[in-house]
Amino acid sequence: MTATAAAAPIDVYERLTSARLSPAQRRIARYVIDHRDAAAFLTSESIARQVGVSQPSVSRFAAALGYARFSDFKRALQKWARSEMSALPPAGESTSPLAEAIGTEVANLQWLGQSATLEEQISRVGAALMSSQRLPVIGLRISRSFAQHFAYLGGKVHPHISVIDRGDTEAKESLARAAAEGGTWCLAFILPRYPREACDLVRYARQIGLKAAVLSDESFATVGHETDELITVRFGSGLLFDTAAAMNIASSALLHAMADSNPGASQDGLERFERHATDLVVFEE
Query: 239-256 burial, b if ≥16 CB within 10 A, otherwise e?
Result: eeebbbbbbebbbebbbb
Rounded to whole angstroms, the Cα distance separating 173 from 15 reads 58
Sheet with 161-164, strands from edge to edge, namely 161-164, 135-139, 185-189, 211-217, 229-233
Top-confidence residue, 36 or 7: 36
Burial of 155 per CB tally in 10 Å (0-12, 13-18, 19+): middle
Contact 233, 247 (CB under 8 A): yes
Rounded to whole angstroms, the Cα distance separating 96 from 237 reads 14
Q: Report whether pLDDT(13) > 50.
A: yes
Top-confidence residue, 84 or 37: 37
Q: Tell me, what's the pLDDT at 185?
A: 96
Chain-centroid distance, C-alpha 204: 27
pLDDT confidence bin for 233, thresholds 50/70/90: confident
Q: pLDDT digit string (tens) for 62-94?
A: 898 888 888 888 888 887 766 655 545 555 555
**Residues of the chain above pLDDT 90, percent:** 30
Contact 162, 134 (CB under 8 A): yes
Top-confidence residue, 226 or 155: 155
Average pLDDT for the chain: 82
What one-character-per-residue DSSP string does 106-162 give?
A: HHHHHHHHT-SSHHHHHHHHHHHHHH-SSEEEEE-GGGHHHHHHHHHHHTTT-TTEE
Q: Report whether pLDDT(221) > 70.
A: no
Residues 6 or more apart whose CB falls under 8 angstroms from that of 209 comprise 179
Q: What is the pTM of this model?
A: 0.65
Rounded to whole angstroms, the Cα distance separating 164 from 137 reads 6
Rounded to whole angstroms, the Cα distance separating 143 from 231 reads 15
Contact 187, 132 (CB under 8 A): no
pLDDT confidence bin for 151, thresholds 50/70/90: very high
Domains of the chain: 12-84 (1.10.10.10), 115-280 (3.40.50.10490)
Q: How far is CA 15 from CA 19, 42, 56, 248, in A?
A: 6, 19, 19, 31
